[in-house]
A and B are shown apart, each in its own frame.
Chain A
C-alpha cells in the first residue's frame, strides 16, 4: 500500500523547536521530490518547503526561510522537517506529499504558551 505517515507534531512554546518525520512505504521514495505543506485550522493550504529526489536541492517559503530545514534519508525512506524558532502563526496541520500525488494524513503542530 502506498503510504506516507507523518509524526512528531505536538504542543510547543513560542521559540521552541520540533522535528517532523514522514515515513514512506509502498513506492520508490528516492524517485520523488518531496514537499511539506501546512494548513492552519479552517484555512487554506500553504506550501512550506520541497526537496529534490537526492536531497541536493531545497526551497522554502519566505515565511519559514532561515527557521525550517527540510531533509531526507533515502535509505530510511523518510522525510524530515526541522522547525526552529517556532511562532504562533506556525500552528497548523503539516502534511508531507510526494510530488503532490501522494499525501500523508498530517500531523498537528500547536505553538502556544
Chain B
C-alpha cells in the first residue's frame, strides 16, 4: 500500500523551531494536503491540523502546517518540553480509496 514518508527522528533545542516533513505522491498530499497528529507515549493521538493548516479548537498557534507540491510540513515554534512526542501525518489516497499514515517522526526537545 502506498504511503507517506517521514524522517524517523528530529532533535531540536528548547525554544527553537522544528519543521517536520511528510512526502507522498500527487494522489495523496498533492490532493487535499495532510493532517498532522501528535502522540505522547501511552496516549491516543491528538489532531493538530487538518487539510494543511486548519487547527482544531484549543490547538496552539505554535503549530502550523503547510504544503508545497507533494510535501506537507508541520512547523512547531518555541519548542517546549511537552512537545517531545511522536508526530504523524495522514492523508487520503484517492488512488487506493484509503487513508494512509506516515511512519511517524519522534521529536526530541533537548
What is the interface of chain A, defined by CB distance below 8 A to chain B? 35, 37, 44-47, 50, 59-63, 95, 97, 100-101, 103-106
Tell me the count of chain B residues lying within 8 A, CB to CB, of chain A.
22
A65 closest partner in B (C-beta): B98
CB atoms of A45 and B104 under 8 A apart: yes
Q: What are the residues of chain B within 8 A of A59 when measuring CB–CB? A: 97-99
CB atoms of B98 and A100 under 8 A apart: no
What is the interface of chain B, defined by CB distance below 8 A to chain A? 1, 35, 37, 39, 44-47, 50, 56, 86, 88, 90, 96-104
| Residue in A46, A47, A105 with the greatest tally of chain B CB atoms within 10 Å | A47
Q: How many A-B residue pairs have CB under 8 A?
A: 51
Nearest-neighbour CB distance to chain B for A92, whole angstroms, equals: 13
CB atoms of B88 and A100 under 8 A apart: no
Nearest-neighbour CB distance to chain A for B3, whole angstroms, equals: 10
Nearest-neighbour CB distance to chain B for A37, whole angstroms, equals: 8
Report whether over half of chain A's contact residues are helix, strand or loop; otherwise say mixed: strand
| Residue in A45, A60, A61, A105 with the greatest tally of chain B CB atoms within 10 Å | A45
- Listed from nearest, the 4 A-B pairs whose CB atoms lie closest are A103-B44, A47-B99, A44-B104, A45-B101
Task: Name B101's contact: one of A47, A50, A62, A104 (CB within 8 Å).
Answer: A47
Q: What are the residues of chain A within 8 A of B37 when measuring CB–CB? A: 45, 100
